[in-house]
Amino acid sequence: MGAPIGVLALQGDVREHRRSLERIGREVVEVKTPADLQRVAGIVLPGGESTAISLLLNSSGLTEPLTNAIAGGLPTFGTCAGLVLLARSILDGRPDQVQLKGLDVVVRRNGYGRQLASFEGHVAGHGPLDGAALPAVFIRAPIIESVGADVEVLGTIDHAGIETPTLVRHGSVLASSFHPELTSDDRIHHLFCDMVEAATK
């Protein structure tokens, strides 16, 4: 079982990540303060609005401790807005947006379009996720425009004829442009829990 996994609970689909993690037997702690952060062996940054979460990270005093924890190797899994917060470079963001760093990718906010372009589909898994395609829900999703040399691409989708990264890993940071937590397929949450186990050994 191990130490609990945190879900950043400032805004967004916290409950769905909690459900996915609990389904695979993990204890979950909602993180709203720096004290909460100290209790967890890994943290999930959920979907939501990255601009609102940015402001709330600052006012909760979480920006600095979370940035340091990620730099120090705390396993971190960001989905959608979580991916945006982790990215090295954000296009179409706000200049005052928080950047937690830790993930050497360039993302464009709402890169797949507005809500009318939101979709359900399947992501092809690679490496540890090789096998049946992963069901995926993209909601006003950010698009990963480029990845650094040390970034593993674990999931891709055909977007306008281009094989586009949708799930990436860089050291102890995992991030997806889609929402595995809105599906009943827990393989990606399993992978993250394996990363947490490996880091706590």
- The position carrying tokens 């979709």 is 119
The contact mask relative to another protein for 125-164 (x = CB under 8 A, - = no) is --------x---x-xx---------------x-x----x-
127 close to 168: Cβ distance less than 8 angstroms:
no
Q: How far apart are CA 102 and CA 33, in angstroms?
A: 20
- Which residues does 189 contact at the CB level (< 8 Å), separation at least 6? 17, 20, 21, 23, 24, 77, 180, 181
Q: Does 115 bind another protein (CB under 8 A)?
A: yes
DSSP alpha helix (H) spans, the chain: 14-23, 34-37, 50-59, 63-71, 81-86, 187-200
Q: What is the sign, positive or negative, of the torsion defined by CA atoms of 147, 138, 82, 125?
A: negative
134 close to 122: Cβ distance less than 8 angstroms:
yes
- The position carrying tokens 């079982």 is 1
* 80, 170, 189, 193: the active-site residue: 80
Q: Does 116 bind another protein (CB under 8 A)?
A: yes
Q: Does 187 bind another protein (CB under 8 A)?
A: no
Q: How many amino acids of this chain bind another protein (CB under 8 A)?
A: 44
Q: Does 19 bind another protein (CB under 8 A)?
A: no
Cβ-based nearer residue to another protein, 86 or 196: 86
Q: Does 16 bind another protein (CB under 8 A)?
A: yes
Q: Does 32 bind another protein (CB under 8 A)?
A: yes
End-to-end CA distance of the chain: 12
- Closest approach of another protein to the CB of residue 146, in Å: 19
Q: Does 179 bind another protein (CB under 8 A)?
A: yes
Residues from 44 through 63 that contact another protein (CB under 8 A): 47-49, 51-52, 55-56, 59-60
- Closest approach of another protein to the CB of residue 7, in Å: 12
Q: How far apart are CA 97 and CA 110, in angstroms?
A: 15
- Assess whether 179 carries a catalytic annotation: yes
- Assess whether 190 carries a catalytic annotation: no
Catalytic residues: 80, 179, 181
For another protein, the binding residues (CB under 8 A) are: 9-16, 32, 47-49, 51-52, 55-56, 59-60, 80-81, 92-94, 109-110, 114-122, 124, 133, 137, 139-140, 156, 158, 163, 179, 182
